[in-house]
Amino acid sequence: MLHIEYVCTGNNGRSPMVETIAKAYVSESGLQDIVVVSSSGSGLNALFQPSGDAAKMEKLSFISLGLHNRVYGSNVVNSSDVVNPAIRSPYKTMATSVLDKGLAANDDDVQICLDFLIWAEGIFRNMALANIGLMANGTYHTPTEPRGDVNVVLPMAHSNVVQVRAIYEGSRFAPPHIEALNQYVQMEGDVPNPFCQLLPAYEQCRDYLMVAVPKTIDRAVREILG
């Protein structure tokens, strides 16, 4: 049995999209009895959870990006930037307020604004997949943890590679093959991160992954299962 784990930072956008595409490819290729795919988020591991002002600054940076890219002002249901002027997003107002206050902003308000971005990402991810007839129905927001039943771990970015290697270091499990997804299939750079952006960014990431993901499975099957 071959187990491939795909890893991004928060296991909410890219890696769930990869997992969904990979499962579809495994099924279409008749490999479901010999290939297992899963996903996780290296940034969710306890080793990489910031605290105090550092955690708040990280959240504020995401909120700033989401506000800049008009995620708070968008109609998430239809992914349009055009919103009925009679409907004012309370999240946009709150996001503007917490950024004005910076570290002095109310912690609950900051978390609410971040939770909106995470919720919107799930919506955009699902829409991008649904538009090609796929459905994300896995268990997400799962921290990357050392395990002994994984053969290959393919993080979305080189920063995730560093985190995954640190997670396995000193654990009781021998590290599996850990390599950035693009590097594994001889593509340049990192998988594009659509977080804090609108639907088109998720569609572009999806199209990119539709090319890259089958190559990861083909190589792993060829090299590990022979």
CB burial class (10 A; 0-12, 13-18, 19+) of residue 52? Answer: exposed
Q: Which domains does the chain have, with CATH numbers?
A: 2-47+133-225 (3.40.50.2300), 50-130 (no CATH)
Q: How high is the pLDDT of residue 149?
A: 96
Q: How high is the pLDDT of residue 82?
A: 42
- How far is residue 210's CA from residue 193's CA, in Å, rounded to a whole number? 15
Residue 72 and residue 40 in contact, taking contact as beta carbons nearer than 8 Å: no
Q: How high is the pLDDT of residue 226?
A: 80
Q: How high is the pLDDT of residue 73?
A: 77
Q: How high is the pLDDT of residue 207?
A: 97
Q: How high is the pLDDT of residue 84?
A: 46
- How far is residue 213's CA from residue 163's CA, in Å, rounded to a whole number? 21
Please report, in tens digits, the pLDDT of each residue of the chain (226 residues total): 999 999 999 999 999 999 999 999 999 999 999 999 999 999 999 999 999 999 999 999 999 999 999 999 766 544 444 444 444 578 999 999 999 999 999 999 999 999 999 999 999 999 999 999 999 998 999 999 999 999 999 999 999 999 999 999 989 999 999 999 999 999 999 999 999 999 999 999 999 999 999 999 999 999 999 8
CB burial class (10 A; 0-12, 13-18, 19+) of residue 207? Answer: exposed
Describe the strand order of the beta sheet including 2-8 as a list of residue ranges.
Answer: 35-41, 2-8, 152-155, 177-178
Q: pLDDT of 192-209, one tens digit each?
A: 999 999 999 999 999 999
User: Per DSSP, which regions of the chain are E strands?
Assistant: 2-8, 35-41, 152-155, 177-178
Query: Virtual CA dihedral for 179, 180, 184, 189, nearest 10 degrees?
Result: -150
**What is the value of pTM for the model shown?**
0.92
